[in-house]
Chain A
Amino acid sequence: RKEVEQDPGPFNVPEGATVAFNCTYSNSASQSFFWYRQDCRKEPKLLMSVYSSGNEDGRFTAQLNRASQYISLLIRDSKLSDSATYLCVARRSQGNLIFGKGTKLSVKP
C-alpha cells in the first residue's frame, strides 16, 4: 500500500461548483498533513495545513480524520484559476514529507 494515495482524476467541473478531493495515508505515526497546489510545469506551493479540528481558508476547507487515516479538501465556488493539480502530503516521523501523486482539477467556464 502506498504511503499517500489520491484519486488522480481528472475532475472536470463547471465554474461555481463545489468539489471535494480525498486522500488516504498508511502510516498512523504521521504527524502533520498538508495540501499543496501545483500548476503545470511549476513547483508545488503550499495551499494549507490540515488539522483534526478542520482548517478553512476562504473557499478552501481541509479536514483530517485520524481514525480513518483520511484527509479531505473541499473547494467551494470553483474559479477557473483553481485549475491545477492538488497534492496530498503527510509528514514522516523522520521529518521529511511524502507526497501523493496528485489529483488534477479542471474548472470549465
Chain B
Amino acid sequence: DGGITQSPKYLFRKEGQNVTLSCEQNLNHDAMYWYRQDPGQGLRLIYYSQIVNDFQKGDIAEGYSVSREKKESFPLTVTSAQKNPTAFYLCASSIEASRGYTFGSGTRLTVV
C-alpha cells in the first residue's frame, strides 16, 4: 500500500545532541513538507521541497536542516541550535498542493 512512513514514532534525546527524523513516501509525490505541532499552536511549516535536490525554508527553519537526495526521502535534522525542540513532527507529501497533503503518522521528539 502507498503511504508515508515516519520513524521512529517516539524519540528521546539529550539536550545538545543533533537528531535526524526519517520520512519516506512511496506515493510518487514530487513535493514533501515538514511541520511541527506544539499544544495549542497548530502546525507550523519548517521546510519544504517541491522537487529532488531542491528545498526551501518555511516559517520556522532556524535550528533545522533537511536534504532531498531522493524523491522518496526527506529527512529532517533537529540541531542543537533549535532552542525548544520538544514537539510533534509531521511529514507530508503531495502530488500538487491544490489537492491537499497526505501526512505520515508523526514523530514525537522529547529532549531531556
Interface residue ranges, A against B (CB under 8 Å): 8, 31-32, 34, 36, 41-46, 49, 87, 89, 91, 94-102
Contacts and interface: CB of A to CB of B under 8 A. Distances in A.
A96 B43 contact: no
Contacts, number: 54
B104 A96 contact: no
A63 to B, nearest CB: 17
Interface residues of B, number: 25
B42 A44 contact: no
Contact of A91 (B98, B104, B106): B98
B33 A96 contact: yes
B66 to A, nearest CB: 14
Contacts of A45: 103
Contact of A96 (B90, B97, B103, B106): B97
A98 B45 CA distance: 8
Interface in B46-74: 48, 50, 56, 58
Contacts of A8: 40
A99 B38 CA distance: 13
Given A34-B100, A43-B103, A44-B90, A96 B45 contact: yes
A88 B33 CA distance: 18
B104 A46 contact: no
Interface string B16-48: 000000000000000101010000111101001
Nearest to B91: A43
Contacts of B45: 96-98
Given A43-B104, A95-B31, A32 B43 contact: no
A45 B56 CA distance: 24
Given A43-B103, A43-B106, A96-B45, A31 B33 contact: no
Contact of B97 (A32, A36, A100, A102): A32
A101 B100 contact: no
Nearest to A46: B100
Contact of A87 (B42, B99, B105): B42
Nearest to A101: B42
B40 A101 contact: yes
